[in-house]
Amino acid sequence: MYHYTDFDSQFVAERNAQFRAQVNRRISGALTEDEFKPLRLMNGLYLQLHAYMLRVAVPYGTLNSAQMRQLAYIADRWDQGYGHFTTRQNIQFNWPKLRDVPDMLDALAEVQMHAIQTSGNTIRNVTADHFAGAAADEIADPRPVAELIRQWSTDHPEFQFLPRKFKIAVTGSPNDRAVTKAHDIGLRMVRNNSGEAGFEVIVGGGLGRTPMIGKVVRDFLPEVDLLPYLEAVVSVWNLLGRRDNKYKSRIKITVHKHGIDDIRARVEDRFALLKHAFSGVDQQLLTSIKADFAAPAFKTRDTEPFELAYVNDPVFRAWADTNLSAHRAEGYAIAQISLKAHGATPGDATSDQMRVMADLAARYGHDELRVSHEQNIVLPHVHKADLPAIHAALKNAALATANIGKISDIIACPGMDYCALATARSIPIAQEIATRFDQLKLEQDIGDLKIKISGCINACGHHHVGHIGILGLDRAGVENYQITLGGDHTETAAIGQRTGPGFAADEIVPAIERIVDTYLSERASPEERFIATFTRVGMTPFKTALYGDSDKRQKAA
């Protein structure tokens, strides 16, 4: 992983000292809240429903054990003993006191972490495939490129006051695990006809009140041209993007208004002017960055302990079948740690659980952890021989739930339990769904099914691209939950279709049951997954299950 230079350390220290002075001025009354707001947002500090919230960047989702332990320490020392991992591969602390935030930032700096640009109208934390550097299907590790983008975008003088926030995601695999098509810029590594690796560049994706799937602006961009091309894209939007209406300010609206062909022409013109200004310095930097991302020294060992446990321990076998993925190195696996125990808050981890995960990474995982956009933690490099011991430690820490990709592996935003913008609760709905299907013992039979829940139209829970999406809204002071079906967050990304009128809080779990029952009765075989069944049979049988006869369905349409 990337290690700070002296410049990086000095930069972060100076920013922290500057913010400490700003906090002191706010506490003394020298700054009003309105004056303080843009300053705190530049440093990742929000004012939520009940308290401040500090959002900490985990660049491209990569952590080492020392960093995870420090997050645990911060949770114990200045928060309430837990942290919340988010779809942006960040961690949020929900209960800090304002006077303590500068100390929290200094503690983060001790392990080369910060909260810079995790909020505000800037280029946010660059996210990446959580299997990066480990996946068997990967063309190349995209994290060096993500780090290059992070350095380029941090405090970039042109891009500190953009029309709105701007999000970039990168994947090095043809199988998109980074939701690139739902980002302002998505970068998918591809090969051209000569076998050279470069990027397909996607622009104008995004969820929220106007969900859109991004459009391809460049089929193939050589790696050497990446930064000037990104700068061209952001420059064009910075000029064209609306500042008079925040709901129409994102690049997706700009692309929709002008059309992808016009945007492409403008970007190419700007790129032609910028390309030569970079003069190869960015590529020299990228070369030095790549050295930090050298593959671990993988070990050659007997995998018999794994094979014996797989045969003799059905609990371990269920976990292995669900939570392990193929690794590029022989004898290794990628292990996902579910933060979605049935009935738990999706994405939350206690300080004790963080320390357990840190210990496992240090002892068995080449000192690497990843935060996934699905709000789980990944041990990207574990030898199969160590998996029985890892599983035993996870069980002791209530971290061994075997549900990755299943119906209880729910993405959920904090909702109205924390967020000042939310119009409905998300967490209790996720908990009730997970608990109900655990009671029904249907989870493994259902197979891969992605439920995503948002507590408002800002769509922080990615509900638009869930196989089943749930959006909580306020209807005359009552929580109401709309359902969408058929969303897809992968390389075949799609926005889900709304089923019809929403459901009250006490009706939503039975409604999800009816959807699942319909799927189980309509699927062509036990191997046909929900999204395939929905694509094949369409919305009609699901609407019938939700709303009844044809007259009611016509009203719902």
Task: Give the three-class secondary structure for 11.
Answer: helix
Under 8 Å between Cβ of 448 and 488: no
List, in order, residues 6 or more apart from 319 with CB less than 8 Å away.
391, 400, 402
Q: Give the pLDDT confidence score for residue 84 in this predicted structure.
A: 98
d(CA 436, CA 407): 10
Q: Give the pLDDT confidence score for residue 241 in this predicted structure.
A: 97
What does the DSSP assignment read for 127-185? EE-TTTTTBTT-SS--HHHHHHHHHHHTT-GGGSS-SS-B-EEEESSSS--S-GGGSSE
**Residue 24 φ/ψ region, left for φ over 0, alpha for ψ in the -120 to 50 degree band, beta for the rest:** alpha
Q: Give the pLDDT confidence score for residue 555 in this predicted structure.
A: 55
Q: Give the pLDDT confidence score for residue 5 in this predicted structure.
A: 96
Q: In the structure, what pLDDT confidence band is assigned to residue 554 with cuts at 50, 70 and 90?
A: low
Residue 550 has pLDDT above 60, yes or no: no
d(CA 52, CA 32): 16
Burial zone of 394 (CB within 10 Å; 0-12 exposed, 13-18 middle, 19+ buried): buried
CA angle 361, 364, 366 (to 5 degrees): 65
- Dihedral of CA 152/153/156/159: which sign? positive
For the stretch 259-278, pLDDT in tens is 999 999 999 999 999 999 99
- Dihedral of CA 132/354/150/7: which sign? negative
CA-closest candidate to residue 382, choices 349, 337, 317:
337
The mean pLDDT of 501-526, rounded to a whole number, is 98
The b/e string for 118-156 (b: 16+ C-beta within 10 A; e otherwise) is bbbbbbbbbbbbbbbbbbeebbbbbbbbbbbbbbbbbee
d(CA 180, CA 129): 9
For the stretch 135-153, pLDDT in tens is 999 999 999 999 999 999 9
Residue 197 has pLDDT above 90, yes or no: yes
What does the DSSP assignment read for 315-344? HHHHHHHHHEEEBSSTTEEEEEE-S--TTS
Q: Give the pLDDT confidence score for residue 279 in this predicted structure.
A: 85
Q: In the structure, what pLDDT confidence band is assigned to residue 105 with cuts at 50, 70 and 90?
A: very high
Give how far Cα 549 sits from Cα of 308, 501, 520, 533, 543, Å. 53, 15, 20, 21, 9
Give how far Cα 440 sits from Cα of 211, 342, 406, 443, 445, Å. 34, 12, 14, 8, 11
Residue 294 has pLDDT above 80, yes or no: yes
Q: Give the pLDDT confidence score for residue 549 in this predicted structure.
A: 74
Cα diameter, the chain: 69
d(CA 147, CA 421): 31
User: To 10 degrees, what angle do helices 226-240 and 251-258 make?
Assistant: 80
Pairing mode, strands 52-56 and 91-93: antiparallel
Task: Give the three-class secondary structure for 480.
Answer: strand
